Amino acid sequence: MRRPLVVGNWKMRGSSHVIHALLAAMRPGADTISDVDVCVCAPFVYLDQCSRQLAGSRLMLGAQNVGNHEPGDYTGEVSASMLLEFGCRYVIVGHSERRHHYGESSALVAARFASALRHGIIPVLCLGESLRERKSGSTCNVVNEQLDAVLDLCGVASLQRAVVAYEPVWAIGTGHTASAEQAQAVHAHIRQRIRRLSAEVADSLQLLYGGSVKPDNAHDLFAMPDIDGGLVGGASLDAAAFLAVCNAAKPLS
């Protein structure tokens, strides 16, 4: 059975004071959830603070992006080796906001993915389509192109050390919400596409859903057979809401 995983993405939000209070409220509850892996991805400038505050906790730390180069003359980038120094276990790559606002191509995302793997950090690879692409029936084509860029560069075996998150762009902060059945259909497509290359990798891969996951829809989403947890945005900035989502991911006994 695949172990559930919930990843909180704080995006470009918070302050030192806010994050300290958030982790103080979140950590005790997260430490009692033994059957779900829980991670929070903080802005770069707060990684040191979070690393210190989470020392000894089951709550893991992640980053929101990673450079595709080793340390060198790349002003403004943060390398995987730097993230490793702060104890980052996970890193988000290819988030829709990076693809849309900063023009990150699937090839660049794949290079970032590879960089994380070289240093033993687990990349959370984001895939997803816009509302226009969904309405045109292009969802699977878009997801395939984004996934294939990683498979072509790193091979299917690389997914054994990675996580994939389906995040429909049209369901992130737009008021639109994907139903559990809509999310499951794309998750099943992703797993089946990987299965064509390796049944072993497909069966063990953690697939997360990342489209406005909240306490009121988490149970229905996580009950789907191919949804193994969530990539949580806004709800991860509320300790009680985030812990409720984490508890919703617990396997049924």
C-alpha 135/C-alpha 249 separation (Å) is 30
pLDDT in tens, 128-137: 999 899 999 9
Query: Which secondary structure element, helix H or strand E, spans residue 59, and what is its range?
Result: none
169-93-65 Cα angle (round to 5): 115
Asked about 95 being catalytic, the answer comes back as yes
Query: Among 96, 214, 93, which Cα is nearest to 163's?
Result: 93
CA 204 from chain centre, in angstroms, equals 16
pLDDT in tens, 90-128: 999 999 999 999 999 999 999 999 999 999 999 999 999
Task: Please identify which of the residues 95, 97, 104, 133 carries the catalytic annotation.
Answer: 95
Token duo for residue 236 = 């991860």
1: Cα within 13 Å, side-chain hemisphere: 11
Say which of 104, 133, 167, 187 is annotated catalytic.
167
Residue 77 annotated in active site: no
What pLDDT is recorded for position 211? 87
Spell out, as residue ranges, where the chain has pLDDT lower than 70.
Answer: 173-175, 252-253
